[in-house]
Structure 1
Amino acid sequence: MTIPGDQQYLADQRADLLRFMAGGAAHAGFGWLREDGTVDGDRPVELWITCRMTHVAALGLMAGEAPADGGPSRSDLRRLVSHGVASLAGPLHDDEHGGWFAAVGPDGPRVRVKQAYGHAFVVLAASSAFLARDPQAVDVLEEALEVSATRFWDDEQGLSVEEWDESWSALDPYRGVNANMHTVEAYLAAGDVTGDPVWHDRAGRIAAHVVAWARANDWRIPEHFDAHWQPLLDHHRDQPDHPFRPYGATVGHGLEWARLLLAVDASRPGQVAGLRDAAVALYDRAVADGWAADGADGFVYTTDWAGSPVVRQRMHWVLAEAVNTATSLHRVTGSARYLRDATDWWRYADTYLVDHELGSWHHELDPENRPAATVWPGKPDVYHAYQAALLPTVPLVPSFAAALAARR
């Protein structure tokens, strides 16, 4: 009998998540998955989902584990990686202007804007596919890094801008921390793959900004900014449950940033002072504000700037990042409290989030921990859950693919 969070349990989770994601291959990448793992044909193929699934397929291939019943073999995973990379080189790519469309349908582009969020995931997917030895990945990675450096990276600010129009002629004035967070993740992976220290350096510059903003705001990270990087603390007050830009403090991002700060510190020890202490402060604030904040177990989605819950839905990705960060902090500090937290949260995940009948994790629960779909209908991708099941088994290095390569 396995115990939630133990080695066999994590291996079973990884195998089942790969089985679930294998059904996501669509005409131009990977589609949005329904509750039962079938592709929702009414939705376009989105860049970020295609990249995340390509990344996970590459991790699964590199891990070389036995497949679940009905799950993908090594050759199947290699085909899935190649399919994802080919989609990035093909239908999702803008051959006229360069870069990648945000979403495409069978008839061509559906969302033509160029988003830093999606482009960060192109870098991540191509980095992982390269380490998984996909032959097309190097070309995609080279272009993705060039686009990121020339279109999104603002060297004066040491941050990423958010969104361009199709032809790279009009820059949206909105600036966001979410895209910068995944840019850090992407740059850590790129630095690991290429050996070029510029990417780890840039990840450190972004991290330093976020630490300063969080420290000045009682360790609740401002998410939204204007073109001059002035915080917009009331942004989307009328759309508090926005899936990408919600109002207030996003509990899960405090946890995710805490883990990334440890990864930045591991990539360039001492480059940015105080990252480990900042990671602890972000973690403590997110747990105090978010866990069982309304009396029921689970992390609320968002709080206001005083720490009171705003959106009480429980998102699966928040719990996944919580166990990842707790595990990472336990490794770095040796403190048993983080191990206790991770153990408790794996039990919660197994009870409420893991779908033991259909597979994968419920992406959203209501405040009573029942499956819901107000923000995240279906089970779009397996990226957060798979990484949560993988992290305890690999070395603590900046990127997951590099960790698997080191283990291999």
Structure 2
Amino acid sequence: MPELFDQMQPFFDPRWLRRQIFETIDFYDPQCVDQKNGGFFHCYLDDGTVCDRTTKSLVGTARFIYLFSVGTMLGGPAHWKTIAKHGLRFLDEVMRDRINGGYYWQAEERQVSDDGKDTYGQAFVLLALATATKAGVAEAGPQIKELAQTITAHLWDDAQQLCVAKKSRNWHWTDPYRGQNPNMHLCEAMIAAYEAIGDRAYLETARTLARTVTITLAQQTGGLIWEQYDQNWRPDWVRRAEYAGNEFRLYGYVLGHSIEWSKLLTKIYAYTRESWLLARAKALYHQAWQRAKDDRYGGLIFSITPDGQPLDTYKYYWVMAEGLGASARLAAADPVQQRAYLDNYQWLFNYCWNHLIDHRYGAWYPKLTRSNLRTGYEKSPLNKTDYHPITNEQEAMHVFEKLVPDAL
């Protein structure tokens, strides 16, 4: 185990960040590739041992495509592009609904086991297609428009300017649950689609989603991002037993999501320069950071109750990763408070290095107790893939390639 990092470590060095991304991808390469059934394996123990050889997650598949596409964009080995194409082929052959459009939620080997159409899953496929396109995978590009049109036609609620959470295979049944989370990731995917093919309509959709969630909905919930709503998009304050343990239907103010939204708002702001985007990004970041920061044990806690009391004080890898990306992007967007954002970034990366990053085998531990103890020995359970650390280390890379050295 390396010594604890101190104030002199290179968290701000783009070359060092690139190495961190590559080392994380190396944890999955080559054992993630399922040569028999196609696609990827989706569960790994600490040492990289595969712990589930049959379950195929739409979200996990899309995230693996994203990982290997990012690695390709950053100059990684040539076979990473081949692995991204391998994942795209599985999506097309097994998970894609050629009759009704869209993509199924889950399969076992090559047989669909859950044929629901979740906005969350469609969003990550769109992100994967866009990122693969940016990485030079030509066949991914035409599918961006097709999937975006499918999402608009079947999942978009024009009256509310948001997407519903889930529909049936043929789009006839609509799940009554409403949530901000799938809309947040659709916003992310639409930004990526705009970056991939330059169609400003995708950026406008991202902007619409951002305004609806971070202003219209947040006005009902005290400014922070609440997770669940009823069919009329009124906040649902009830903690429902049927959603217990469902990582896609969370309860409470999940503070990492307010921080993640702040990052997305800065990305849109970089293209539109509309002042409300930066204002909301700063407000969400500061409100969430203040409530999440754990001065005793380090890191950021997960969630709080409607009245602001700690709810889930565990330390989740993705919350820390989003804190890094948001801190870096706000440091670039807000020169007045730049030093504070950089200090937060350094403090949080120091925590991640000392507690969440596995220096023996690679990748990040998924979850710790509040006092930073391990909760299990699955390094990468279903859907994880370390997408969050990689995307946010890439965000930080881009910031620190441009930020003037004196600021650091």
Contact 1:236 1:246 in 2 (8 A): no
Q: Which residue of 2 aligns with 1:290?
A: 292
Structure 1: how far apart are the matches of 2:160 and 2:242? 30
Counterpart of 1:357, as a letter, is R
Structure 1 position 54 matched with structure 2 position 56:
no
2:390 aligned to which of 350, 374, 386? 386
Q: Which amino acid aligns with 1:18?
A: I
Deviations 1:292-342 (A, max 9, x none): 17x321211111122221111110000000011011110011220000000
Amino acid at match of 1:311: D
Alignment partner, residue 12 of structure 1: 19
Q: For residues 171-198 of structure 1, what are the alpha-carbon distances to aligned partners after superposition, in whole Å with 9 as ceiling and x for unaligned?
A: 1121110000001001111122232222
* Unaligned runs of at least 5 residues, structure 2: 401-408
Please point out which of 208, 213, 236 is paired with 2:211.
208
Per the TM alignment, residue 366 of structure 1 is displaced from its structure 2 partner at its CA by 1.1
The TM-score normalised by the length of structure 2 is 0.88
2:32 maps to 1:24: yes
SS of 2:170's equivalent?
A: coil
Question: 1:93 and 1:266 mapped to 2: Cα distance?
Answer: 33
Q: Name which of structure 1's ranges 215-224 and 88-97 shifts more when overlaid on structure 2.
A: 215-224
**CA-to-partner distance for each residue in 1:62-83, whole Å, 9 max, x for gaps?**
1104xxxxxxx22x10111111
User: What secondary structure does 1:201 align onto?
Assistant: helix
Aligned residue in 1 for 2:50? 39
1:359 maps to what in 2? 362
Identical aligned pairs, as a percentage? 26
2:89 maps to 1:89: no
Map 1:120-135; keep pairs closer than 5 Å.
Answer: 120-135=123-138
Instruction: Show the counterpart of 2:405.
Output: none
CA RMSD of aligned residues (A): 2.2
Query: 2: distance between equivalents of 1:43 and 1:287?
Result: 39
Summarize the alignment of residues 169-248 of structure 1 with structure 2, pairs less than 5 Å apart.
Answer: 169-212=172-215, 213-236=217-240, 242-248=246-252
Paired amino acid for 1:344 = W
Tell me the residue number matched to 1:262.
266
Q: Give the letter for the 2:314 counterpart.
A: Q
2: CA distance, partners of 1:241 / 1:369: 21
Q: Distance in 2 between matches of 1:338 and 1:309?
A: 24
Give 3-state SS (helix, strand or coil) of 2:73's partner: helix
Please say which of residues 1-10 and 371-380 is displaced more in the overlay.
371-380
Alpha-carbon shift at residue 147 of structure 1 (Å): 1.2
Structure 1 unaligned residues grouped into runs of 5+: 66-72, 397-408
Give the secondary structure class of the aligned counterpart of 1:24. coil
Q: Are residues 1:343 and 2:346 paired? A: yes
Matched positions, count: 385
| Change over 3 Å in CA distance of 1:40–1:321 after alignment to 2 | same
- Report SS of the residue matched to 1:124: helix
CA pair 237-104 structure 1, distance change in 2 beyond 3 A: closer
CA distance in 2, matches of 1:345, 1:232: 32
Secondary structure of 1:326 counterpart: helix
Report the Cα offset of residue 216 of structure 1: 4.2
TM-score (norm 1): 0.88
For residues 370 and 146 of structure 2, the distance between their equivalents in structure 1, rounded to whole angstroms, comes to 43
SS of the residue corresponding to residue 94 of structure 2 reads coil
Cα–Cα, structure 1 residues 94 and 223, in superposed 2: closer, same or farther, change >3 Å? Answer: same
CA contact (8 A) 2:331 2:339 kept: yes
Matched-pair contact (CA < 8 Å) for 1:319–1:349: yes
